[in-house]
Amino acid sequence: MKMQVFFKATIGERGAPSGNAPTVPAMLFALLVLLIVIKLLWGYWERDLTFGDTSSYFQHAVQWHQNGEVNIVWSPLYTAYFGSWLSVTENADVATLLHRVGLILVSTGLVAWLGWLTLPRVLALLLVAWWIVLPIHYDTLYEVHLFGALPLLVMTVVSFLASEKWKWPLLLGIALVSTILIRNEYVLAVGVLAALAVVDAYKRRSVSFPEMRSAGLRYGVVLLAVGLLVAYFYSVSYVKGPAIREASAPKHTLNMCQVYAFGYQQRHVDWVGSPWTECSSLMRVKFGAPHPTLREMIVSNPGEVAEHFLWNLSLTRAGMEVLLFNATSAHDNPDYPPVLVSPVLPTVLLVITFMINVGGAIVIFRKSPAQYSEIRKKLAIMSPLLLAGVIMAAAVILTQRPRPSYLLGVGVLYMWVVSIMLSTFMARFKKLDILWAAILAIALILLMPTYRSLSLPSKAGSLALIYNELRPQASRLCQSPGALGIGEYASEINNYMCSPYRFGPQGGRSNLIALGSFSADQLSSPENLVNALATAGVDALVIDPFLMLKNQGLQGCAELRDALLKSGWQQLAYSVERNGRCIAAYAK
């Protein structure tokens, strides 16, 4: 009952059924959505352990799990969520999968809720189907990007559920929390929403003093809740005070270094350095410093920054196509990893969505006001978030690039607009809405492919295989006094396997040596590798399935094992795959 008072404008007030319990159609809609999700994710447990950034966030997740601590600079709300799954299982492979599935279910639920509140049933199901089916959503490269879209999705639902009195305080509160504890670009949403809230208050300037006091109390309650939440995370952060600025600066400058270098390499193919590890030399040439801030880049070389911005803008069409349809017709990649290129179709689909938006707008604002008043009302309710989303997207596109995983929430807003505009052409078919929705749901459940049947890059790796094979020996590998030598997935194996020991009571390993850094001569024979390991102070070693393939001079798994055992190494793990490759671990 208290919740009904808090959300005074309930679903019923927005044109859908109200009451204390979900209606049968609502429960049926939710069940259909759940069945579609289950069908799509069947076999999802075969997904490889996420590499790259997620393994770095896993270190913070471990600190939350073991010590209740966060790094307030690095998305602490996300790492607390990630770390909470380690209370279910301390297996990094399983915990990472579970936290990803949780994000998929929550985001799908929010998209479905938004569709249920605002759209005809068949269009609501189409919106959910679009969200569920595209790999850019359920198989996005890093889970933190999916988590970063949740605040915008939550705000869309709040916009339609909360009363007019509570809407602005709640939206501002969510945006503030998101800015501080999730993603910094939400500060732009804070600015937009604050400005619109001031305009809304100005329009109501004739209200009485008691109403103004009540409004102030509502803002005060929300801001107090935000302050308490932020204060709590600050109190458990192991980075405090001036150290926050020191930790934040490299996060921004390294990011600008890498994104500029990646775009520069796309524009100048003669620059063959690595954007990830060699960008500082390029930045020194172009901007006079290895890691300048964006402001310093603009001051020192505005023309080069303008070229960077214009290049990013030129990728926008490709970025939108990948965001909305998981493929592009453009030749230039708007993302960092390769994207699916499909001739013509993505561009045709994008043009169709533009035409639907334009046609719908003409119908809504030129036809009978009464007939389309409900649609105009819904657009007005969503307009603050649409404006905030456009401004956030513009900032991301200009400074970073139109990377689809950075724009997942904005993609939902765009497809919602397409859906609401499409509903203007469905007035005469309202009686068939439920029937169409049922047919669509059944078709999706029957015809939609499962994850297991799809050929996706996330199924092709061996990181989970290596991790699970070595996990029983993690204590010995991670707590030896010398360095740990790893070939493929060096930082990922180190982060996933050794983080629980690094932050434990006995401390842990921080000295990691990637075998790929050894010279060709050191990797030319088993004996040379053994000598190189001794010289480098390596006393724990991981052999991955790719080491022999990349270095033919090592001869084979058995030959390298014999050389190591002959030199006094102890075998901790050894397994040979059907293709002759092996996973092994040794310690001095």
Q: Which residues contact 523 (CB under 8 A, 6 or more apart)?
A: 515, 529, 532, 551, 553, 554
**Distance (Å, rounded) from C-alpha 176 to C-alpha 189?**
9
Task: Write down the pLDDT at residue 574.
Answer: 92
Query: Where does the pLDDT of residue 417 fall: very low under 50, low under 70, confident under 90, or very high at 90 and above?
Result: very high
The reported pLDDT for the residue numbered 98 is: 97
Task: Kindly state the average pLDDT of the residues 311-339.
Answer: 95
* Alpha carbon separation from 373 to 214, 364, 378, 403 (Å, rounded): 30, 8, 9, 36
40-44-46 Cα angle (round to 5)? 145
Helix pair 53-67, 92-118: axis angle to 10 deg = 100
Residue 447's pLDDT band (boundaries 50, 70, 90)?
A: confident
| CB contact burial 95-124 (16+ within 10 A = b; e otherwise) | bbbbbbbbbbebbbbbbbbbbbbbbbbbbb
Q: Largest Cα–Cα distance of the chain, in whole Å?
A: 89
**SS3 category, 237:** strand
Q: Rounded mean pLDDT of 394-416?
A: 96
Q: Look at residue 24 in the predicted model and tell me its pLDDT.
A: 61
Q: Provide the pLDDT for residue 437.
A: 74
pLDDT of residue 164: 85
Share of the chain above pLDDT 90, in %: 69
Q: What is the pLDDT of residues 113-137, one digit of tens each?
A: 999 999 988 899 999 999 999 999 9
Mean pLDDT value of segment 459-488: 90
Q: pLDDT value at position 208?
A: 67
Least confident of 23-27, 237-241, 343-347: 23-27
Bridge partners, 512 (sequence order): 484
| pLDDT value at residue 205 | 64
| Average of per-residue pLDDT values in the chain | 89
Q: Copy the structure tokens of residue 542.
A: 């991981």
Q: How is residue 486 written in tokens?
A: 């790893």
Write down how long the chain is: 588
443 burial via Cβ count (<10 Å: 0-12, 13-18, 19+): exposed
Is pLDDT of 173 > 50?
yes
Q: For residues 380 and 185, what is the distance between their CA atoms, to the nearest angstrom?
A: 24
Domain borders along the chain are 2-238+434-453, 242-314, 463-587
Helix (H) or strand (E) holding 549: helix 547-550
pLDDT band with cut points at 50, 70 and 90 for residue 157: very high
Q: And the tokens for 323?
A: 């965001």
Burial of 2 (0-12, 13-18, 19+ CB in 10 A): exposed
| CA atoms of 427 and 433, how far apart (whole Å) | 10
What's the pLDDT at 207? 62
Residue 384 exposure: Cα atoms within 13 Å on the Cβ side? 25
Q: What percent of the chain has pLDDT over 70?
A: 92
The band of 81, judged by pLDDT with boundaries at 50, 70 and 90, is: very high
Q: Could you report the per-residue pLDDT of 34-79, keeping only the tens digit for each?
A: 999 999 999 999 999 999 899 999 999 999 999 999 999 999 999 9
Instruction: With cut-offs at 50, 70 and 90, classify the pLDDT of residue 27.
Output: confident
Q: What is the CA radius of gyration of the chain?
A: 27
Q: What is the pLDDT of residues 540-582, one digit of tens each?
A: 999 999 898 889 899 888 999 999 999 999 999 999 887 778 9
In tens, the pLDDT along 479-507 reads: 888 889 998 898 999 999 999 987 654 44
What would the pLDDT profile of 82-113 be if each residue is shown by its tens digit? 999 999 999 999 999 999 999 999 999 999 99
Least confident of 16-30, 190-204, 311-325, 476-490: 16-30
Q: What is the mean pLDDT of residues 12-34?
A: 65
Between CA 321 and CA 249 the distance in angstroms is: 33
Provide the pLDDT for residue 432: 60
| 17 pLDDT more than 60 | no
What is the C-alpha to C-alpha distance for residues 160 and 166, in angstroms, rounded to an integer? Answer: 11
- Residue 274 or 436, more confident: 274
DSSP-assigned states of every residue in 278-308: SHHHHHHHHHSSSS--HHHHHHH-HHHHHHH
pTM: 0.91
